[in-house]
Each structure stands twice: as structure tokens, then as C-alpha cells.
Amino acid sequence: SSHQQPIALVPNAPKFTDEQWEKLGEGLNTLGKKAKEKGIKMCYHHHMGTGVMTPEEIDRLAEVTDPDLVSLCLDTGHLHFAGGDCVEFIEKYHDRIKHVHLKNIRQNVMEHSLTNELSFKEAIEAGVFTVPGDPAGCLDFKAILGALAKKGFEGWLVVEAEQDPAKANPLEYAKMAREYLREITGQ
């Protein structure tokens, strides 16, 4: 994968062959079966710079894995960064989503990162990610959380910022996210 290396994130992300997809599916199904036997739900996290990054790659992962053994994590920031739509993802995979990472995107930084082929680390340091409730972010969390609620989602919602703490005070951004989520969810 390219997400841990100092190279352009998207152009260097791996592209799996049919054989690799088959092996990935078999391996994840095996792990999912072992997890299920222990009473654990296994969730796969799609991620920038990996072979399961884009909506099309997530679709392929869903095809090669057993939904009873392999659940999905929705990471709102990574999905948008990779060209996906969070509400569409929820509509399509609501029965498989068991974990959600609420991460916002600064659209202008994302576009700069993609245009200039920044590495993942460089994109993060430039401030591509932020928290829900940050006015600089572009994601519509009312729509995202509304879609999850409409589908009866009952799993974990984890707020992630992935920001440089020297530029974005963690406590300030944690409070911003908490206040915003309390406002829009009533919780």
C-alpha cells in the first residue's frame, strides 16, 4: 500500500488481480469465521492508499466476502477522499456496516492533495481531515447520521480527526465534534 510511504497516495495504491481478490476474500472469510466462533464481528476498514480504497474496490471486496463473516466499517473521510458518497454507501451496505468512523474532509485540501499527488502523511499534515462540526469540513453529517438512523444502525460511532496536533488543538476539536454531534443527534 501507499498510505505508509512517502509517495503519491492515489497513483501508487495497489490494484489487485482477480487472483489476489480471490485470495483476499478467502483470507478474510477465514478470519471472519474464526472471529465469529469467538463471538466477535470482524469489520473491514477501506482506506486511502490501499487495494480497497475506491467505491468500486469496496464493491469487489463485498462480492468476494461472506456478509455473515465480514462486516464493513464506514469511514466517512476515507470514502469521500476516494470519490465515494457516504449516503449511497449506507443505502447499499447498511446490513453490513457494523462500525463507523466519523471523519470530516476539508475539500480544498483534498483537491490540493490529489492534484499535487501528496503522500498520505503530507495530506494529513496539510489538514485534509478534520472532525464533524468543523465549519471548514464539507461532509453533511446530518444526512449521514440520518441515513444510518433510518437503516437502524446500532454500532459504534468513532470520531476521528487525524490532524497535526500542533495545528489543530486536540481538545478544542474534540469539544467541537462533541458539541456538534450532541446538537444534531440530541444525544
What is the mean predicted confidence (pLDDT) over 57-74?
98
At residue 97, does pLDDT exceed 70?
yes
Going by C-alpha positions, the residue among 113, 40, 47, 124 that lies closest to residue 78 is: 47
Paired with 75 in beta bridges are 101
pTM: 0.94
Paired with 104 in beta bridges are 130
- Dump pLDDT digits (tens) for 111-141: 999 999 999 999 999 999 999 999 999 999 9
